[in-house]
Amino acid sequence: QAQVVESGGGLVQPGGSLILSCAASVSRFSLDTINWYRQAPGKQRELVATVTSGGTTNYGDSVKGRFTISRDDAKNTVYLQMDTLKPEDTAVYYCNVRHRNNLFGPARDYWGQGTHVTVSS
């Protein structure tokens, strides 16, 4: 069982910044790998950023150097700091939590409802 909720999206001008949050109501959150994806209308879903249980981070080529993913396990929350935003960053952003309901069971993907980010002047 898991619930994932994204927040923080909105309208921002090119060059601006925004912080997205992903809150997960799961046990053993610190063991989970978290991904941020985004999808624009008519386009394929794109992996934006990943943070593992060990704190290792990875980013999609299109956002490297501009976005930063971080986690606060005490709050069961992951953040995506987005800087130097471009119009092409406009999309619905989704949080994906890879979680095990049982300690030795399979990891399953849980998704939030998405939060809209629009970059426009």
Q: Which residues contact 101 (CB under 8 A, 6 or more apart)?
A: 1, 2, 108
Q: How much is the pLDDT for 22?
A: 98
Contact of 43 with 110, CB cutoff 8 Å: no
Residue 94 DSSP SS3:
strand
Confidence of residue 2 (pLDDT cuts 50, 70, 90): confident
The whole-number average pLDDT for the span 55-81 is: 98
- Could you tell me what percent of the chain has a pLDDT over 90? 98
Read off the pLDDT of residues 15-51 as tens digits, 9 standing for 90 and up.
Answer: 999 999 999 999 999 999 999 999 999 999 999 999 9
Beta strands in the chain (DSSP E): 4-7, 10-12, 18-24, 33-39, 46-51, 57-59, 67-72, 77-82, 91-99, 108-111, 115-119
